[in-house]
Amino acid sequence: MPPPCYVRGVRRAVRTLVLGVVFAAGCGETEAPPPAAPVARPVKTFVVGETSGRVLRWPGVVQAAEHAELSFEVPGKLVALSVTEGQKVEAGQVIARLDDRDLRAQLLGAQARLRQARVEHDRTRELGAKGIVSAAEQDVTRRQLGEAQAEAALTRKAVEDAVLRAPFAGVVARVAVENHQAVQAKQPVVVLQGAGGLEVVTQVPERDMAQAGDAASLEALADRIQATARFDALPDETVPARLSEAATSPDPETGTYEVTWRIEAPEGVNILPGMTATIEVQPVKAAGAAAAAPLEVPAQAVWSTPDGEARVWKIDPKTLAVTAAPVQLGEVRGDRVQVVSGLAAGDEIATSGVHELSEGQVVRRFEDLYGSVERAR
């Protein structure tokens, strides 16, 4: 018969084994975790009835509304440079002078030849009246007089061109030469900026230019556009901007259109030419009280059912769930298509991933994910 201590040890081992089996069975009966909630799909969106789903922005550079790069019309050596950078000048004020001694000598010679030509012309005319000289000889002296007059006028202008004057009142923005330096004709000497306001020059893509629509005049289009200017150096300042110039042919290299905006610096704010700026344009307002233009949506927002019926994904503003909305399409204009029926102004639709969406799927605005676009509601 086994000793009592051995029996007690066996019993403890059995109890431990039974508890382990029960515990293992209990762990196997635990419920699986609930499935993860579906992730909202990010999509780009468009609000129907707006010129675009966002505020349009174009980078630009500030420049003086009136500015000029001044240069001499004749070559020579500088003998006087009368201005410095930042100096204010009046219209007609002398900016610089060239050594004009050679030009004045040429003018004296041209004037002497002119006097001689005039004497010869008068003499042959008198003799011609008496029949002593022929008409051909009179024609020669008449031509010589004309050539002498032209030579004298050109040399006189060259002497005048040896003095560079300010064409308008303003500020000397840059001096490009040193005094006593030899300069060539048309070589920049100074850059003059007028005091008549500032402007921002932007390069606008053709797609954005097309959205401006037709206007009777540039002034009429400017009245329809709400624009402001922001400046990298002055992040807290916003200045109203007005359309002043718009190129009608694109840059051959970039394919963009140069558009200029007039601005007025607020009192106490130092906005200078050369600063970088951003023009922000709200959606273009409809002109006058004319009938509303047909609604347009990006062409990539439209998809077709197997039966060939056009649809767009309309987004519920509260749940952000998409619904396939049937639409009747009209004319195609570039990357936009007119919607005759099926949508109303203010409806928000998806414009990306339209072939991957399904009825009732919840989406998330691409703009909300990255915060790079402001919606113009």
In the chain, what's the furthest Cα-to-Cα distance? 177
Q: In this structure, is residue 3 part of a structural domain?
A: no
Q: How many CB atoms lie within 10 A of CB 2?
A: 8
Q: In this structure, is residue 320 part of a structural domain?
A: yes
Phi, psi of 187 (to 5 degrees): -75, 130
State yes or no: pLDDT of 99 exceeds 50: yes
State yes or no: pLDDT of 367 exceeds 80: no
- Verify that 322 and 308 share a domain, yes or no: yes
How far apart are alpha carbons 88 and 93 in whole angstroms? 10
Phi, psi of 369 (to 5 degrees): -70, -40
What is the domain extent for residue 256?
Answer: 56-65+197-281
> Of the given ranges (64-78, 275-289, 315-329), which has the lowest mean pLDDT?
275-289
**pLDDT, mean of residues 85-105:** 94
How far apart are alpha carbons 182 and 162 in whole angstroms? 12
The residue among 144, 135, 137, 247 whose CA lies nearest residue 202 is 247
- Verify that 305 and 364 share a domain, yes or no: yes
The better pLDDT of the pair 154, 57 is held by: 154
State yes or no: pLDDT of 21 exceeds 70: no
State yes or no: pLDDT of 253 exceeds 70: yes
The CB-based long-range contact list for 238-241 (8 Å cut-off, 24+ gap) reads 239/263, 239/264, 239/265, 239/266, 239/269, 239/271, 240/264, 241/200, 241/279
- Verify that 60 and 207 share a domain, yes or no: yes
Question: Angle at Cα 221 formed by Cα 220 and Cα 227, nearest 5°?
Answer: 125
How far apart are alpha carbons 79 and 73 in whole angstroms? 16
How far apart are alpha carbons 93 and 102 in whole angstroms? 24
- Verify that 156 and 255 share a domain, yes or no: no
Q: In this structure, is residue 8 part of a structural domain?
A: no
So what's the pLDDT on residue 241? 93
Q: In this structure, is residue 10 part of a structural domain?
A: no
CATH number at residue 137: 1.10.287
So what's the pLDDT on residue 358? 93
Q: How confident is the model at residue 229 (pLDDT cuts 50, 70, 90)?
A: very high
State yes or no: pLDDT of 360 exceeds 90: yes
Tokens 């109890």 identify what position?
15
CATH number at residue 306: 2.40.420.20
State yes or no: pLDDT of 291 exceeds 80: no
**pLDDT, mean of residues 3-29:** 48
Chain centroid offset of residue 375 CA? 20
Tokens 């010679």 identify what position?
109
State yes or no: pLDDT of 141 exceeds 50: yes
Q: In this structure, is residue 153 part of a structural domain?
A: yes
Looking at 281, 304, 319, the residue that finishes a domain is: 281
- Verify that 90 and 109 share a domain, yes or no: no
Tokens 């060239």 identify what position?
98
Per-residue pLDDT of 159-178, as tens digits, reads: 999 999 999 999 998 999 99
Q: In this structure, is residue 202 part of a structural domain?
A: yes
**207 — alpha (psi -120 to 50), left (phi > 0) or beta?**
alpha
- What's the chain's average pLDDT? 83
So what's the pLDDT on residue 290? 44
Q: In this structure, is residue 228 part of a structural domain?
A: yes
Q: Please give the structure tokens belonging to residue 3.
A: 């000793």
Q: Are 276 and 59 in contact (CB under 8 A)?
A: yes
CATH number at residue 82: 2.40.50.100
Per-residue pLDDT of 191-208, as tens digits, reads: 998 877 899 999 998 877
- Verify that 201 and 145 share a domain, yes or no: no
What is the number of structural domains in the chain? 4
Cα separation values, 99 from 74, 84, 104, 183, 355, Å: 11, 20, 10, 11, 76
How far apart are alpha carbons 229 and 232 in whole angstroms? 10
> Of the given ranges (37-51, 285-299, 358-372), which has the lowest mean pLDDT?
285-299
So what's the pLDDT on residue 185? 95
- Verify that 177 and 188 share a domain, yes or no: yes
So what's the pLDDT on residue 153? 95
Per-residue pLDDT of 239-251, as tens digits, reads: 999 999 999 898 8
Q: Please give the structure tokens belonging to residue 26.
A: 């209990």
So what's the pLDDT on residue 32? 56
Q: How confident is the model at residue 289 (pLDDT cuts 50, 70, 90)?
A: very low
State yes or no: pLDDT of 57 exceeds 90: no
Looking at 216, 251, 281, the residue that finishes a domain is: 281
- Verify that 169 and 216 share a domain, yes or no: no
The better pLDDT of the pair 206, 147 is held by: 147
- Verify that 87 and 186 share a domain, yes or no: yes
Q: Are 190 and 96 in contact (CB under 8 A)?
A: yes
So what's the pLDDT on residue 311? 95
Q: In this structure, is residue 6 part of a structural domain?
A: no
Tokens 């197997």 identify what position?
306
Q: How confident is the model at residue 12 (pLDDT cuts 50, 70, 90)?
A: low
Q: How confident is the model at residue 95 (pLDDT cuts 50, 70, 90)?
A: very high
State yes or no: pLDDT of 33 exceeds 70: no
Q: How many CB atoms lie within 10 A of CB 309?
A: 12
So what's the pLDDT on residue 112? 96
Q: Are 340 and 326 in contact (CB under 8 A)?
A: no
> Of the given ranges (163-167, 273-277, 281-285), which has the lowest mean pLDDT?
281-285
- Say which DSSP state 299 is in: G
So what's the pLDDT on residue 215? 58
Going by their DSSP bridges, the two strands 257-263 and 234-246 should be labelled as: antiparallel
**pLDDT, mean of residues 47-73:** 82
- Verify that 80 and 187 share a domain, yes or no: yes
- Verify that 338 and 247 share a domain, yes or no: no
CATH number at residue 208: 2.40.30.170
- Verify that 191 and 71 share a domain, yes or no: yes
So what's the pLDDT on residue 40? 82
Looking at 141, 175, 195, the residue that finishes a domain is: 195
